[in-house]
Amino acid sequence: MKKTKYIFGIVTLLMSFGCALFISNSVFGKILFSKRNPTTINGLDKIQEGDMIFQTSQSKQCEAVRIATNSKFSHCGIVFTEKGKKYVFEAVQPVKHTPLEDWITHGKENHFVVTRLKNAAKLLKPETIQKMKDYGKGLNNKDYDLYFEWSDEKIYCSELIWKIYKNGAGIELCPLQKLKDFNLKEPRVQAILAERYGNAIPFEESVVAPSDLENSKIVTTIIDTY
């Protein structure tokens, strides 16, 4: 069966496509903040609902993904507000809401990047944000997708954001790619491919990486602490 062949394979090579590891550290522009007291972070008031937030992981599998995608990012989420408090809606195990400050402190040196849809003020009206939230509710508590398959049965991080925008707001953030489109020739990536897949590498699997979302032509960077 497909899943039997793929189990742990896509997890290791592509963990960054939906990496359930969390990462980050500073905030607005290049202003740094304390890991121990995230409530003192300056600039979090700049973050709005619908913003996307990205982190970096130090794990070996995520290192391979960063190489394969030519990116420093391995995990991402979308920001929503519930009862006046900001949360990152993310696909980990399971899909859940994590307080923004907590999410930031989970990352490598607490660095993170926040992007926003261009013309968000016009495109993301309150009623649209609500539709995005409503769609997201259908994915809440779903298991993390270890296979990175393009279905709603299980979800990985960048897939979660892409689908919320597509199905909740009618906005396609970026084209989907195939696994074969990434940089798979680098020795460290090839080693993991061989270890995890043998000769059954799913080159035609449709995927979306955090880097695809961050590099989207229809978003702009709001905060970059790297």
Structure confidence by residue, pLDDT tens digits, 161-193: 999 999 999 999 999 999 888 888 888 888 877
Q: Which of 215, 88, 71, 85 is nearest to 157 (CA)?
A: 88
Q: Using 50, 70 and 90 to split pLDDT, how confident is the model at 58?
A: low
Has residue 37 been placed in a domain?
no
The yes-or-no verdict on residue 11 having pLDDT over 70 is no
Has residue 82 been placed in a domain?
yes
Has residue 38 been placed in a domain?
no
Beta carbons within 8 Å of 16's beta carbon, 6+ residues apart: 57, 61, 62, 65, 66, 68, 69, 71, 73, 74, 75, 209, 210
DSSP β-bridge partners for residue 144: 155
Q: In 163-193, which positions are buried (b, 16+ CB within 10 angstroms) versus exposed (e)? A: bbbebbbebebbeebebeebebeeeebeebb
Locate 182 and state its tokens.
Answer: 């990434």
CA torsion angle 100 83 213 28 (round to 10): -50
Phi and psi at residue 136, in whole multiples of 5°? -60, -30
Separation of alpha carbons 70 and 212, rounded Å:
10
Has residue 158 been placed in a domain?
yes
Tell me the residue range of the domain where 7 lies: 2-29+46-224
What is the tally of structural domains in the chain? 1
| Cβ atoms of residues 168 and 177 within 8 Å | no
Neighbours of 147 (CB within 10 A): 21
Has residue 41 been placed in a domain?
no
The CATH number of the domain where 179 resides is what? 3.90.1720.10
Tell me the pLDDT tens digit for each residue of 80-132: 999 999 999 999 999 999 999 999 998 888 999 999 999 999 999 999 999 99
Has residue 17 been placed in a domain?
yes
Has residue 187 been placed in a domain?
yes
Q: What is the DSSP string of 60-78?
A: HHHHHHHHHHTSS--EEEE
Has residue 154 been placed in a domain?
yes
Tell me the pLDDT tens digit for each residue of 23-42: 333 333 333 343 434 444 56
